[in-house]
A and B are shown apart, each in its own frame.
Chain A
Amino acid sequence: MPDLAGREAPAASQPSSEAVSGPVVVLIEDERPIRRFLRASLTGQGYRLVEAATGEEGLTEAAMRQPDIVILDLGLPDIDGLEVIRRLREWTAVPIIVLSARGQERDKIAALDAGADDYVSKPFGVGELLARMRVVLRHAARSSTETAESTFCVGDLHVDLAVRRVAVEGREVHLTPIEYRLLTTLIRYAGKVVTQQQLLKEVWGPQCTEQAHYLRVYVAQLRRKIEADPARPRYLLTEPGVGYRLASE
């Protein structure tokens, strides 16, 4: 959209001058208090923040600034947040993190299906949002260089993808082929939420997306092998009503 380049969107702020080199974040959120506290926290963390109060404005800003992350509130005054995701995904693979209320699991799944990368439930702590942002940035960087890491380590869990070796606290753990496939799929998205449907599709194939209980049973088995206390998992976390997340930090 080159014709928009010269125009100045009124509600948009210029990227903060004190952090010239940080990643650019387009924040699409109609609530001023939330924009305000995010501005304080994100610029303090070295992000360059561009704010938009409406969906249309946000789409324009995203086109002009070529951001590294889009943070999107699902409940916008002008257009549906899902529509914003779809229109962004028509031309860009920029990581999108959705802000949504707890109890709206269906909306979260719809947003993830439409192409969002992750979500944070309101109310949220800045630490949680920053962690999600780091994860999606890391994934974006990795996919642009096309290099997959051959090992995955978090806490006491070590997975050597090259030799298919899984170890917890240095002890080797034997996984069945499906458990291993489940783990490696989660590793591929480490830190990001993966919906049940997506996991079923990637591990079992597209014809098995109705068999969520299989997934749950295998996750439980996998937890018993890699978690010290499967009822209080450290690595393989559940997002009730949505899916799973493999801890990455």
Chain B
Amino acid sequence: MKREGLSTAPVTVTVRQHNPDWAAYGRATVVVTLCTAVAWTMFPHFEPSNLIMVYLLGVTAVAARSGPGPSVLASILSVAAFDFFFVAPHFTFRVSDAQYLVTFAVMLIVAFVISGFTVRIRAQAESARERERRTAALYALSRELVSARGVEHVLRAAERQMAEVFGGEVAVLLPDPGGRLSLQTELSTRFEMTSSELGAAQWVYEHGQIAGHDTSTLPETQALYLPLVASHGTLGVLGLQLAVPHSLEAPEQLHQLETFANQTALALERTQLAEAAQDAQIRAETERLRSSLLSSVSHDLRTPLATITGAASSLLEGDNILDDQTRKDLLESLSEEAERLNRLVNNLLEMTRLESGTLQVRKEWHVLEEVVGAALGRLAKLLRDRPVTTSLPADLPLVPIDDVLLEQVLINLLDNAVKHTPDGGPLEIAAWSREGAVTVEVANRGPGLPPGDENRVFDKFYRGSGSTSRGTGLGLAICRGIVEAHGGRIWAENRPEGGVTFRFTIPLTGTPPELEGIDA
């Protein structure tokens, strides 16, 4: 029982100090009995002084294994047994030769001194081992804290390591913005937190001093509270509810506990600062995006709205002046601008969904040709004066995609091509399968991209440098968002013969469905 106690569970070590271990006393008695037996066999051949050595050996053995109590018992029993068995008159405690009284006294003193030294050496070894174990634990904690990501990880690592080393329940209390401490309940469920305990913790937080159980301040509380002091002040409070009360009496253990608390505080501060910095960066980024989105959107929404308002009011007010052709022109621009507005709003919604992370990709195995067909069908009006050639091999495999989202990608690419190339310019759609991915390309014969802008076109709010560009600069960014959500890649290349090719890949991840029994 003692061996295991030394190597792993600190609780057992402390238990032994407070409850007399009756087995050790029993063992001391047994050892003295054995020594007597050995001495008895030696008695006819050796001087009595040599028999004393046997007993001293026995006392040393007891001291080496047990505490001071059993050693003292062994010393006294040894003297008594020596007197009883080997000093004349035998089998009585009476002593005929008074010289033996000196022998007894010296024997007792030597036995006490030996056992005292032995016990102390053992205790030192034990405490050295204990110290080493805590140092190792501290090292483990620091290592864990360095790699901990996020406040919760830091707290969890600290709680686990400390509970293991000091034995008991550990809780971390962090302040709310108003400075009121609260238990991080999801971490420490077994820590009993009453209002008086919370009061003690609050006191520790406000004064930055250790208090609670086994200290001079608020000693009546159940747990010991240490402030988590970092460079910018007290971050919170660490509570330790010992499994065995008063087991932290040694000042070095308290120091060690403080070191643990300091380590935790520094790690906590580092993590909190990192999180704050990240938050600030995200906020700044969001702010920047929001303002550029607003300026871009307000312009792009107003342009079609201005056309719609203008055309509608012309039709209303100039009812009897307008000839049929003008009326038809106005109506057509009304309809076209409304459709443009619709595409714009769709893109804005899509972008919002992409950015907020609420976009759900419902992948199923689809026939690519069908999605291309649906996109071309939806843009039939926009593409009516454009020759569109499609070359999709009949043996193209099924692709794992969200058809609605991929249709949006194709619509945006085609819409982009129409916007940036002269009226009537041809468009080409092609696809092929190679190396576990299907590549789709949408090519035009427009003016091409300025060199170096081939990747920038997919950035949000990028607009072509030409003054003819219309739109929010969101369409291609949405394409990239959707393609990347499918695990693919999208890029643009200027064509040697003029124009731009937009290509994206859809990786063929997952197991394609069995198509057994398909009769072709």
Interface residues of A (CB under 8 A from B): 102-103, 105, 123, 125, 176-178, 211-214, 216-221, 223-224, 229-233, 237-241
- The chain A residue sitting closest to B406, CB to CB, is A240
Cα separation A37 to B388 with both chains bound (whole Å): 35
Q: Decide if A231 touches B429 in the complex (CB within 8 Å).
A: yes
Is B377 close to A, CB under 8 A?
Answer: yes
Q: Is there contact, CB below 8 Å, between B377 and A229?
A: no
Q: How far is the CA of A218 from the CA of B407 in the complex (A)?
A: 20
Task: Give me 9 other A-B pairs in contact (C-beta within 8 A), A217-B515, A238-B370 excluded.
Answer: A102-B346, A103-B346, A105-B404, A123-B342, A216-B365, A216-B370, A216-B398, A217-B398, A241-B403
Closest to B396 in A: A220
Which residue of chain A has its CB nearest to the CB of B339?
A123
**Interchain CB contact under 8 A, B374 and A240:** yes
C-alpha spacing A217/B377, complex, angstroms: 19
- Per the bound structure, the CA–CA distance linking A177 and B404 in Å amounts to 30
A230 near B346: Cβ-Cβ < 8 Å:
no
Say yes or no: B367 contacts A219, CB within 8 Å: yes
Residues of B within 8 A of A214 (CB): 515, 518
Q: Are A240 and B369 in contact (CB under 8 A)?
A: no
Please give, as numbers and ranges, the residues of chain A lying within 8 Å of B346 by CB-CB distance: 102-103
Q: Is B243 an interface residue, CB under 8 A from the partner?
A: no
A145 to chain B, nearest CB (A): 33
The 14 listed contacts between A and B (C-beta, < 8 Å) are A102-B346, A177-B519, A213-B366, A214-B518, A219-B370, A221-B520, A223-B370, A223-B373, A230-B369, A231-B369, A231-B390, A238-B374, A240-B403, A241-B404
Instruction: Determine the chain A residues whose CB is within 8 A of the CB of B429 once the complex forms.
Output: 231
Decide: B377 and A220 in contact? CB cutoff 8 A: no
Report how far A51 CA is from B392 CA in the complex, Å: 48
Mask of B362-403 contacts with A, CB within 8 angstroms, 1/0: 001111011111101100000000001010101000100001
The 3 closest A-B pairs by CB, nearest first: A231-B390, A241-B404, A213-B365
Assess whether B373 is in contact with A231, with CB atoms less than 8 Å apart: yes
**B316 CB to nearest chain A CB (Å):** 14
Contacts of B373 in A (CB 8 A): 223, 230-233, 237-238
Q: Which of chain B's residues 76-112 have a Cβ closer than 8 Å to chain A?
A: none
Residue of A nearest to B377 (CB): A237
Most chain B CB inside 10 Å of its own CB: which residue of A178, A229, A232, A237: A232
Which residues of the partner chain B approach A223 to less than 8 Å between Cβ atoms? 369-370, 373
B146 CB-CB contact with A under 8 Å: no
Q: How large is the interface on B (under 10, 10 to 19, 20 to 34, 35 or more residues)?
A: 20 to 34
B519 touches A178 (CB 8 A): yes
The verdict on B282 contacting chain A, using a C-beta distance below 8 Å, is: no
Structural contact, A103 and B349, CB atoms closer than 8 A: yes
Chain A residues whose CB sits within 8 angstroms of the CB of B349 once the complex forms: 103
- A213 near B364 (CB under 8 angstroms)? yes
* B338 at interface by CB-CB < 8 Å: yes
List B contacts of A232 (CB < 8 A): 373, 376-377, 388, 390
How far does the alpha carbon of A217 sit from the alpha carbon of B407 in the complex, in Å? 18
B518 pairs with A240, CB closer than 8 A: no
Please tell me if B178 contacts chain A, counting CB pairs below 8 Å.
Answer: no
Residue B513 lies at the interface, judged by CB distance under 8 Å to chain A: yes
Whether the pair A216, B366 counts as a contact (CB closer than 8 A) is: yes
Q: Is the CB of A240 within 8 A of B520?
A: no
A218 to B520 Cα, complex, angstroms: 9
Contacts of B376 in A (CB 8 A): 231-232
Q: In the bound complex, do residue B367 and residue A216 qualify as a contact, i.e. CB atoms below 8 Å apart?
A: yes
Residues of A within 8 Å of B338, CB to CB, are 123
Question: How far, in angstroms, from A216 to B398 measured CA to CA in the complex?
Answer: 9
Tell me the complex Cα distance, A178–B369, Å.
Answer: 20
| Residue of chain A at shortest CB distance from B392 | A231
Chain A residue contacts of B404, Cβ below 8 A: 103, 105, 240-241
What sequence of 0s and 1s flags, for each residue 481-520 of chain B, a beta carbon within 8 Å of any chain A beta carbon? 0000000000000000000000000000000010100111
Contact B519–A213 (Cβ < 8 Å): no
Contacting pair B394 A224 (CB below 8 A): yes
B392 neighbours in A (Cβ, 8 Å): 231
- Nearest-neighbour CB distance to chain A for B410, whole angstroms, equals 10
User: Which of A218, A219, A238 has the most C-beta atoms of chain B within 10 angstroms of its own C-beta?
Assistant: A238
Q: Which residues on the B side are within 8 Å of A123 (C-beta)?
A: 338, 342
CB closest residue in chain A, given B335: A125
Is A218 a contact partner of B377 (Cβ separation < 8 A)? no
Q: Which residues of B contact A102 (CB under 8 A)?
A: 346
Contact call A240/B519, Cβ cutoff below 8 A: no
Measured in the bound complex, the distance between the Cα atoms of B515 and A80 in whole Å is: 40
Interface centre among B367, B388, B403, B404 (most CB of A within 10 A): B367
Alpha-carbon separation in the docked complex, A233 to B404 (Å): 18
User: Cα distance A221–B398 when bound, in Å?
Assistant: 13
Chain B contacts for A238, CB-based, 8 A: 370-371, 373-374, 377
Query: Are B369 and A220 within 8 A (Cβ)?
Result: yes
Residue of B nearest to A178 (CB): B519
- A103: chain B residues within 8 A (beta carbon): 346, 349, 404
CB of A105, distance to nearest CB on chain B (Å): 6
Residues of B within 8 A of A176 (CB): 519-520
With A and B bound together, what is the CA distance between A79 and B429 in angstroms? 45
Name the distance in Å between B345's Cβ and chain A's nearest Cβ. Answer: 9
- Min Cβ gap B405→A in Å is 9
Contact status A220-B390, CB under 8 Å: no
Complex partner residue of B372 from A105, A218, A231, CB under 8 angstroms: A231
Q: CA of A125 to CA of B520 in the docked complex: distance in angstroms?
A: 39
Question: A221 contacts which chain B residues (CB < 8 A)?
Answer: 518, 520
Q: What is the distance, in angstroms, from A208's C-beta to the closest C-beta of chain B?
A: 11
Q: Cβ of A178: which chain B residues have Cβ within 8 Å of it? A: 519
Bound CA–CA A239/B373 (angstroms): 10
Do A218 and B374 form a contact, CB below 8 Å, given A123-B338, A213-B365?
no
Closest chain-A Cβ to B119's Cβ sits at a distance in Å of 77
Q: Known contacts being A231-B392, A241-B403, A241-B404, is A220 close to B374, with CB within 8 Å? A: no
CA distance A221 to B367 in the complex (A): 10
A139 to B53, CA, bound (A): 118
Contact yes or no, A240 B342, CB < 8 A: no
A214, B377: Cα distance in complex, Å? 23
Per the bound structure, the CA–CA distance linking A176 and B416 in Å amounts to 41
**Complex alpha-carbon distance, A218 and B370, angstroms:** 11
B517 to chain A, nearest CB (A): 9
**A211, A237, A240: the one within 8 Å of B407 (CB):** A240
Query: Pick the contact of B367 from A211, A220, A237 — CB < 8 Å?
Result: A220
Alpha-carbon gap, A211 to B398, bound state (A): 13
Would you give the shortest CB distance from B59 to chain A, in whole angstroms?
83
* A100, B371: Cα distance in complex, Å: 21
